[in-house]
Chains A and B, each alone.
Chain A
């Protein structure tokens, strides 16, 4: 049931996002916030941080969390057992076969059963409790967190304009998000609610709301893995740091090639305003980098977190470093430095690529999920004693990806899909539960649009649930997520 707001500004904002018009300015937003009266989200109280963990390429969530009841599992097994390389994971309880090739389903053993609590009143409990579930065998840390109630599953989530049934999908009677199945557009849609070209992400928008509660606005929205539209706000910039924090430009201070004054000249040259728009933008990035670097790095250097252990690569059995865990170590150190950095609300972005498993899915995904699980586990452990404080209740991490993948296999991999399952973890999460409606596997299921899942939970609802916890008001959430009023449940209930 749609509930389109009569406000014209809001309609324009909705229209521009839904249409995916490229290159159009998103100008009205800042105006909207100002007119809402309280432009600042509720930020009194303890520190809070959101961490977006983006899996680039489209993770095959159907092999990450598997419904193991016979109805669904039999279809799953039949559809995904294709020559030459079956990607169907095996039934719970199947012992690993040490003689099978590494990272194959036989070698990994059956999916690992999980026991959701299905607490009465938790959205999704009733329909989901009829079935049983298992995790990909390479995810022991996620299984532990789920059992410890610090991780929840968000079932069959994806971009939607409005709720859509299978019949409505087949009749094309409800508008769909644009450019489904296209990597760049769906990454943009998950992060910024529109196809490639949208300039501001919902993480950045949440940052805009809370920025004024930070003494150092510059450190509100931080990405540890390159430019990501998720982190870009209207007023807050996505501040980039690397594994060693902010990088100092060595030539702008001290002696430069035998001159004691040339470094000042350099500093002036690289930070001056310029009449060419692009040169000016470049200079402003350098200026930001220089201005923020010293204060950031002082605080960051003083903040420590134990380095992640290695993880075991399922295809080789070798111990290897986990880059995603290292990104989360950087995030943890920044959270640990929050006092010195002068921040009470932060939005973070970390990512890993390689999820576009069109081929060699068995080995590729086993490795990817091993790293994902290891990193999420590491982050939880590290936050538990960060600077002597248990920060887990203050930090909420959620996963996202371009899309899920096709039900069927192309022989050794899968193609682009739509709906996918995701994780949300942290001390404030109602863990050990499955939120939303966990779908039956296969095109015959009620939640399928052909060879892919038709989402029953929208990105807007996930974002709004997180945003509400973060301190945004319902009015602010409706502005950041213009399609939110189309859904009956803006708060999915996975955060307390």
Chain B
């Protein structure tokens, strides 16, 4: 539900929004007219939804090209020349607001169409079709910030195609991803409710069809979802201060955020829900609870509470339930939905959520080791978006991207993050204007083989603990001693570094058998000027921060691939005004120029200076 901000005296939220936007646009336009790179005047706090004063000041900045490229590196699947140009003509805040307003494209609709196309040739939908849709949006979608936000959420509230129970639910999993994207800029409370009730999550964490305790037989409810929604999706294992640091218990160790008893109480809440049955409560029969008489839409519509609506059901626990300081007393009539609301409200309102989720979103986009102050500012935005609303994800994203720790150039040896492999591939596709011949962006598929590929495929994590842990520390004495974490290093090792380089060596080349093809026309045009070609790499891949030594090395490597001089056909002297004939060795020239581009791109994307985003 949209909230009214400073204009609460107006009658309708719609009026308030319209007026607010008109004011903001007018102010922002005025600032934009002042030229790039400058500062701006103060905006009403409501326009920037809870961001602090530093972020508010940075919000109105119109970036230079390199600043824009760096921002886009954090906020999209990768800068393009066009988007760098565009963002250097507007403020960060304008770009962000524009992104919030971009329409969402549903993977589920793509999957329905793909299913129909496949059925017409006797084939079936598979997860490969989701991967096509994923890359279509990641590469060419205009709602880039939503794409990154959804991907980040998919690494926190994880489901995975690797699970046998989901591997044949391609449309269901696609709709789960849609749900994350739909909630990316909404409220966190709705996000965790939609996550909890999505049937794919119900299957993945085995609470769809979970039954209450039975004292006679000794059966107890499955604890799986209760544990993971608590440990991974909302509050985490340890009590946190607003700045993400651990709260210590009396013996100096991090204090636990929950106990086994809390999980057992929550597990009783997560009982009595099952497959979507239909629009009428009378659809919720016992048989449907156990998976029979399937509704055609049950793979993507939210799970439903069965207890109250079907005769002879007894699936939801009516015992007293105690968790996290809350007690739901015994019920005479099961109240599945009421209990769920209490449980989700309790988790949502826990003070841990802001730092626990906020810090991970920073880690997915900006830097692996944000300062406590940075985390604190993002927590503050989560706790209150400036209008008294908790959990406003727009406020969170503004706080993350507009924070000085994100916007200011930082050459500290401990700042930055290893780009995740899937995002690196996105960087490549976008920087070099990849497009799809068929329109379906097909052909990338599984990229999880560390020996030959990226060691990561979207929505394909080994377990609910994602590809890597937020707190992973590589066995490097220097990083350990500095007290730093490097999550993405958990999937980085002797085999994967080689696999990545071999994969990229292949992908950078032009291959007309592929459906997704990069367009190197701008780069080929610079092939005769290695320094200029490398400068273009510098802007697209290093936002202007390519070290001089690396420039020198890559320029030398590019230059070492000689481009043959054109050989013209021997003929009678042409008229002075006649155009030059085509060289007889044009093919060799073209090959050489492309090789130079391949060298520039491949050496750049292999370099640790590219791989570590700063």
B478 touches A280 (CB 8 A): yes
Residues 266-281 of A, flagged 1 when their CB comes within 8 A of B and 0 if not, give 1011101011111111
Task: Please provide the chain B residues from 137 to 187 with a CB less than 8 Å away from any CB of chain A in the complex.
Answer: 164-165
B603 touches A289 (CB 8 A): no
A-chain residues with CB within 8 Å of residue B206 when the two chains form the complex: 358-359, 413
Residues 251-294 of A, flagged 1 when their CB comes within 8 A of B and 0 if not, give 10000111111100110111010111111111111101100110
Contact of B220 among A181, A238, A281, A451 (CB under 8 A): A451
Residues 450-481 of B, flagged 1 when their CB comes within 8 A of A and 0 if not, give 11100000000011010001010111101111
B330 to chain A, nearest CB (A): 21
Quick one: closest A residue to B208, CB to CB? Answer: A359
- A371 on interface, CB distance cutoff 8 Å: no
Given contacts A227-B493, A274-B608, contact A410 B603 (CB under 8 A): no
A-chain residues with CB within 8 Å of residue B221 when the two chains form the complex: 410
B498 touches A249 (CB 8 A): yes
- Interface stretch of the complex, out of B17-25, B27-35, B426-434, B555-563: B555-563
A-chain residues with CB within 8 Å of residue B263 when the two chains form the complex: 181
- B74 on interface, CB distance cutoff 8 Å: no
- Tell me, in angstroms, the Cα distance from A188 to B231 when the chains sit together: 16
A179 touches B237 (CB 8 A): yes
- Tell me, in angstroms, the Cα distance from A293 to B227 when the chains sit together: 42
A279 touches B220 (CB 8 A): no
A249 touches B222 (CB 8 A): no
- Interface stretch of the complex, out of A42-50, A195-203, A387-395: A195-203
B-chain residues with CB within 8 Å of residue A21 when the two chains form the complex: 253-254
A283 touches B608 (CB 8 A): yes
Residues 436-452 of B, flagged 1 when their CB comes within 8 A of A and 0 if not, give 00000000000000111
Contact of A270 among B227, B560, B608 (CB under 8 A): B608
Contact of A276 among B214, B227, B416, B474 (CB under 8 A): B416
- B75 on interface, CB distance cutoff 8 Å: no
Contact of A242 among B165, B238, B290, B451 (CB under 8 A): B451
Given contacts A226-B450, A259-B560, A277-B482, contact A197 B473 (CB under 8 A): yes
A259 touches B557 (CB 8 A): yes
A415 touches B222 (CB 8 A): yes
- Tell me, in angstroms, the Cα distance from A226 to B491 when the chains sit together: 8
A-chain residues with CB within 8 Å of residue B481 when the two chains form the complex: 25, 27
B253 touches A19 (CB 8 A): yes
Quick one: closest A residue to B549, CB to CB? Answer: A272
B413 touches A25 (CB 8 A): no
Among the interface residues B205, B251, B480, which one has the most CB atoms of the partner chain A within 10 A?
B480
A-chain residues with CB within 8 Å of residue B482 when the two chains form the complex: 277
Given contacts A199-B480, A288-B494, A416-B227, contact A270 B260 (CB under 8 A): no
A251 touches B474 (CB 8 A): no
Given contacts A262-B599, A415-B223, contact A281 B474 (CB under 8 A): yes
Contact of B475 among A200, A251, A269, A277 (CB under 8 A): A200
- Tell me, in angstroms, the Cα distance from A110 to B214 when the chains sit together: 27
A281 touches B502 (CB 8 A): no
Contact of B217 among A82, A180, A227 (CB under 8 A): A82
- A488 on interface, CB distance cutoff 8 Å: no
B5 to chain A, nearest CB (A): 39
Among the interface residues B210, B214, B475, B483, which one has the most CB atoms of the partner chain A within 10 A?
B475
A-chain residues with CB within 8 Å of residue B452 when the two chains form the complex: 247
Contact of B612 among A79, A204, A279, A406 (CB under 8 A): A279
- B606 on interface, CB distance cutoff 8 Å: yes
B416 touches A257 (CB 8 A): no
Residues 231-256 of B, flagged 1 when their CB comes within 8 A of A and 0 if not, give 10000011000000010000111101
A277 touches B478 (CB 8 A): yes
- A241 on interface, CB distance cutoff 8 Å: yes
Given contacts A184-B469, A277-B414, A415-B224, contact A258 B476 (CB under 8 A): no
- Interface stretch of the complex, out of B56-64, B371-379, B590-598: B590-598
- Tell me, in angstroms, the Cα distance from A31 to B177 when the chains sit together: 49
B-chain residues with CB within 8 Å of residue A259 when the two chains form the complex: 557, 560-561, 595, 599
- The number of residues on chain B lying at the interface, defined by a beta carbon within 8 Å of a beta carbon of chain A, is 92
Residues 13-24 of A, flagged 1 when their CB comes within 8 A of B and 0 if not, give 000000111110
A279 touches B608 (CB 8 A): yes
B219 touches A408 (CB 8 A): yes
B592 touches A285 (CB 8 A): no
A24 to chain B, nearest CB (A): 8
- B334 on interface, CB distance cutoff 8 Å: no
- Tell me, in angstroms, the Cα distance from A237 to B497 when the chains sit together: 15
- B553 on interface, CB distance cutoff 8 Å: yes
Contact of B606 among A20, A81, A266 (CB under 8 A): A266
B550 touches A269 (CB 8 A): yes
Among the interface residues A26, A281, A354, A358, which one has the most CB atoms of the partner chain B within 10 A?
A281
B-chain residues with CB within 8 Å of residue A262 when the two chains form the complex: 557, 560-561, 599, 603
Interface size class of A (residues with CB under 8 A): 35 or more
Quick one: closest B residue to A267, CB to CB? Answer: B606
Contact of B218 among A79, A204, A353, A360 (CB under 8 A): A79
A199 touches B475 (CB 8 A): yes
B557 touches A265 (CB 8 A): yes
Among the interface residues B462, B560, B608, which one has the most CB atoms of the partner chain A within 10 A?
B608
A25 touches B480 (CB 8 A): yes
- Tell me, in angstroms, the Cα distance from A249 to B505 when the chains sit together: 10
Contact of B495 among A241, A256, A409, A416 (CB under 8 A): A241
- B15 on interface, CB distance cutoff 8 Å: no
A257 touches B219 (CB 8 A): no
Given contacts A179-B237, A262-B561, A269-B553, contact A246 B495 (CB under 8 A): yes
- Tell me, in angstroms, the Cα distance from A136 to B343 when the chains sit together: 39
- B484 on interface, CB distance cutoff 8 Å: yes
Quick one: closest B residue to A354, CB to CB? Answer: B164
Residues 43-55 of B, flagged 1 when their CB comes within 8 A of A and 0 if not, give 0000000000000
Among the interface residues A183, A204, A266, A278, which one has the most CB atoms of the partner chain B within 10 A?
A278
Residues 82-93 of A, flagged 1 when their CB comes within 8 A of B and 0 if not, give 111000000000
- Tell me, in angstroms, the Cα distance from A268 to B484 when the chains sit together: 26
- A480 on interface, CB distance cutoff 8 Å: no
Given contacts A283-B608, A285-B493, A410-B210, contact A265 B553 (CB under 8 A): yes
- A182 on interface, CB distance cutoff 8 Å: yes
Given contacts A247-B499, A256-B599, A293-B498, contact A19 B557 (CB under 8 A): no
- A250 on interface, CB distance cutoff 8 Å: yes
A226 touches B493 (CB 8 A): yes
B203 to chain A, nearest CB (A): 9
Quick one: closest A residue to B221, CB to CB? Answer: A410
- Tell me, in angstroms, the Cα distance from A354 to B160 when the chains sit together: 13
Quick one: closest A residue to B486, CB to CB? Answer: A278
Give 25 CB contacts A-B under 8 Å. Answer: A20-B254, A22-B254, A23-B485, A25-B483, A181-B260, A185-B237, A226-B450, A232-B475, A238-B475, A241-B494, A247-B451, A250-B501, A257-B602, A277-B414, A278-B368, A278-B418, A278-B479, A278-B489, A280-B478, A282-B608, A282-B611, A293-B498, A354-B164, A408-B220, A410-B220
Q: B-contacting residues of A (Cβ < 8 Å)?
A: 19-23, 25-27, 56-57, 78-79, 81-84, 178-185, 196-197, 199-200, 204, 226-227, 232-233, 237-244, 246-251, 256-262, 265-266, 268-270, 272, 274-286, 288-289, 292-293, 353-354, 356, 358-360, 364, 406, 408-411, 413, 415-416, 451
Given contacts A19-B252, A276-B614, 15 further A-B contacts (CB under 8 A): A22-B238, A83-B217, A184-B465, A247-B495, A249-B502, A250-B502, A257-B598, A257-B602, A272-B608, A285-B497, A358-B224, A406-B220, A408-B220, A410-B211, A416-B227
Ordered nearest first, which 7 A-B pairs have the shortest CB separation? A279-B608, A247-B498, A289-B494, A240-B493, A358-B206, A265-B557, A410-B222
Q: A-contacting residues of B (Cβ < 8 Å)?
A: 164-165, 205-206, 210-211, 214, 217-224, 227, 231, 237-238, 246, 251-254, 256, 260, 263, 290, 368, 413-418, 450-452, 462-463, 465, 469, 471, 473-476, 478-486, 489-499, 501-502, 505, 550, 553-554, 556-557, 560-561, 591-592, 595-596, 598-599, 602-603, 606-609, 611-612, 614
